[in-house]
Structure 1
Amino acid sequence: MTDYFRPLVQHGRHRPDTALPLAGGASWFTHALHLRRDAAPRVLPAAGIPADWQAALSAPRAPVAGLSMDAPRLMGILNVTPDSFSDGGLHAGPAAAIAHAETMARAGVDIVDVGGESTRPGASTIPEEEESARVAPVIERIARPGRPLVSIDTRKRAVAEAAVKAGAGFVNDVAGLTYDPGLAPFCAARALPVCIMHAQGDPATMQDAPTYGDVLLDVYDWLAARVAALEAQGIPRDRIVVDPGIGFGKTMAHNLALLEGVALFHGLGCPVLVGASRKRFIGVISGEQEPARRVPGSLAVALAAAAEGVQILRIHDVAETAAALKVWQATRQGRHDGT
C-alpha cells in the first residue's frame, strides 16, 4: 500500500527549529498526517516523513510564467460565454469582457483566466471554431506587457493555439490535458506552463453519481499519474500546476474532504490551485441560492485554502478576495507594512 503524508500547516513568525517550510513559502509544519488506504490516519513528526516526501513538500516552487509562487496569487475568472453558471453571460460580449478584465487588473489580479466554453454541470461541448472566436479578440486586447498574465481555460489544442497567438501565456485545462491528444505536445513545444485539473467524467455527466474509494487519495493518485505522463511528453514538473477540481464530479462531502486535506497535494512538488468560487456547495452551506451572492462563503474558502499553502486562488470577486487576504496575512504575521 502507498503511504501519503499531509502536512499539518502552521503559520506565524515563531516557529520551532524542527519546522519544515511548506513549498518555500511563509507557512511551515512540524507534523504530518500519515495516510494509507488500509490503516487509520496517524500523526507523526516531520522528521519521520521519508526524505523524498520532505523534499517535495518543502522545496520552493518555480515561478509560473514569471509569477513567484511564495505567496497566494489571484486568478480572476473571465467567462466569455453566454451560459456561465456564475454570471449568466454578463461578460459574453468583447466590450464587457475587456472592461471586466480592466476592473480585475485594477483590483490586483495576477492572472486573468479567459474561458469560451462553459464547463458548468450539464454543459455541452461547443465547436473549437466558436470557442476560439469568443476568446481570441478579448485576449488580444488584454494581454500586454506589464499587465496581468492571461491564461486560456480550454481543453482543445486549436483554441489554445489561437489564444497563445493572441497573447495568452498559460493553459488551464479542466480535463488535465486528456481531452485533446494534441494539447500536451503543443504546450511542450511552446514551453507553456499548464494547470491540470481532476474531473470525474465530463461536464455533461460529471455530477450524475460521482463515487470514490477515498476521494483525497484517489484525486492525488490521478494527478500524480498525469504529472508523470506530462513529464514523459516534455512538460517538466516545474511548469505544471495541479488542481483537485472542486465541484467537478464531486459531491458536497467530496468537496469538503478535498478542501480539508488540500495540503496533501503539495506532495506532488507543484503549485496548487483551488477554484471553488461561488460553487453550489457554498450555496448549500450558506443557504444562498444565487451564485453572485455567495461572496462571503467564497472568501471563507479562499482563506481556508491560503491557510493550507495553496498558491493560486481561482476566483470571481477579486477586490474582495485581495482585501481579505491582506487582512488575513497581517493578522497571521502580527504586522502590516513593517509595523
Structure 2
Amino acid sequence: MTGADAPLRLHGRSLEGPTVMAVINRTPDSFFDRGATYGFDAALTAVDTAVTEGADIIDIGGVKAGPGAEVDVREELRRVVDLVVAVRERHPEVVISVDTWRAEVGEAVAEAGADLLNDTWGGVDPRLAEVAAAHGIGLVCAHAGGLDPRTRPHRAGYEDVVADVIRYVTAEAERAVSLGVRRDAILIDPAHDFGKNTWHSLEITRRLGELSATGWPVLVAVSNKDFIGETLGEPVEKRGVGTMAVLGVSAWLGARVFRVHDVAAARQALDSLAGQRAADSRCRAR
C-alpha cells in the first residue's frame, strides 16, 4: 500500500483522493498575503470562501514561518483559539488543522475543536505528539533539517536529502503511533524549503514517489514558496502557475494532501488530474 492509498481519517471523515488544505494565516506579516487575513473577521471570511471553493481542511496559523517579530505563546493562543472555535461552529463538517510547534498551543486548540496538529518544524517540542494522542486527533510529521523554529538554513547540506527526509519523518510517525496517535491520522511532510535550499526542494519533488512508497499519506506544502520563485525567476505574486505545476507533479507521484493559498485553482487542477489518472488506469486495463 502506498501513501496515496493509505487510510486517512480526521474529524470522523475518511479523506480519499486529492485533499485540499487551505492556508489561513492569522498573522500580520505572512510572506504571501501580507496580513490580509490577520483580522478575525477577515480570517473567518477567508475560511467561508475556502470551504465554498472546495477545501477539505482549514489550516490555521498564528505565527509566520520565517524570521520576524517575536510571537509568544500567549499571543499565538490569542490569534488561533477563538478562530478554531468559530470555524467549528460555522463549518461543523470541515477538518480543522492548526499550524504550530508548541504543545501548549496544541492542547488549547485541541480542546477548542481542532482535528489535526500541523507540526511544520519537525518535532522540536516532542510533547506535541503526546497532545495529539491524548485528544485522539491527527498529527503532521515534518522534516525541517533540525532547525529551530523561524530560522533559515545556512548552507544546508545532505548526502541524500530524500533519504534524510524519509528516515526522519517515518521515525517521527512511528514514534507518534507508539504514543497513541492513530496510524490513520498521521501525515508525513517533506517540508519543502524548511532547512533546505532550492535544489533540495526540487529533488524532493522529483522523487516524491519514494515518500509515498513508505505507506504514509504525504502532505505537500509548496504553495508560492521560494524554491518555485527561484526556479522561475518570479516574485511571490507571480508563482501561481509554478505552484500548480508542482502540485500536479506531486499528485501524480502519490501526494495526498495539498496545502495551498488558491483553493479554487488547486481544486480544479487536482480534480482534473485525478480524472486523467482514472482514464489512464481504464485504458491500461483494456
Settle same-fold status: TM greater than 0.5: yes
Match of 2:105 in 1: 159
**Structure with larger RCO (C-alpha < 8 A, sep 6+):** 2
Q: What amino acid is the match of 1:83? A: D
TM (normalized to structure 2)?
A: 0.90
Aligned-CA RMSD value: 1.9
TM (normalized to structure 1)?
A: 0.77
Residue 274 (structure 2) pairs with residue 320 (structure 1): no
Match of 2:78 in 1: 133
Bigger Rg over Cα: 1
Given that 1:241 and 1:270 are in contact with CA atoms closer than 8 Å, whether structure 2 keeps it comes out as yes
Given that 2:161 and 2:200 are in contact with CA atoms closer than 8 Å, whether structure 1 keeps it comes out as yes
Q: Cα offset for 1:23?
A: 4.4
Match of 2:88 in 1: 143
Q: Which digits, 9 at most, give the CA deviation of each residue in 1:96-141, with x for residues without a partner? A: 0000000000000000000001112x34652111000001121111
Match of 1:211 in 2: 157
Q: Which digits, 9 at most, give the CA deviation of each residue in 1:61-83, with x for residues without a partner? A: 24233343431100000010111
Equivalences for 1:81-230 in 2 at 5 Å? Answer: 81-120=27-66, 122-123=67-68, 126-144=71-89, 146-176=92-122, 178-200=123-145, 201-230=147-176
Residues 79/69 of structure 1: CA separation in 2 closer, same or farther (3 Å cut): same
Separation (CA, whole Å) in 2 of partners of 1:256 and 1:181: 29
Structure 2: runs of 5+ lacking an equivalent: 281-286
Structure 1: runs of 5+ lacking an equivalent: 1-20, 26-59
Q: Which digits, 9 at most, give the CA deviation of each residue in 1:213-232, with x for residues without a partner? A: 10010111111221222223
Equivalences for 1:1-339 in 2 at 5 Å? Answer: 22-23=2-3, 25=5, 60-120=6-66, 122-123=67-68, 126-144=71-89, 146-176=92-122, 178-200=123-145, 201-289=147-235, 291-334=236-279
Given that 1:77 and 1:316 are in contact with CA atoms closer than 8 Å, whether structure 2 keeps it comes out as yes
Given that 1:87 and 1:292 are in contact with CA atoms closer than 8 Å, whether structure 2 keeps it comes out as no
Higher helix content, 1 or 2:
2
Moved more, 99-108 or 193-202: 193-202
Q: What amino acid is the match of 2:35? A: G
Aligned to 2:213, the other structure's residue is in SS state: helix
Aligned to 1:179, the other structure's residue is in SS state: coil
Identity %: 33
Moved more, 96-105 or 145-154: 145-154
Aligned to 1:195, the other structure's residue is in SS state: strand
Matched residue pairs, number? 278
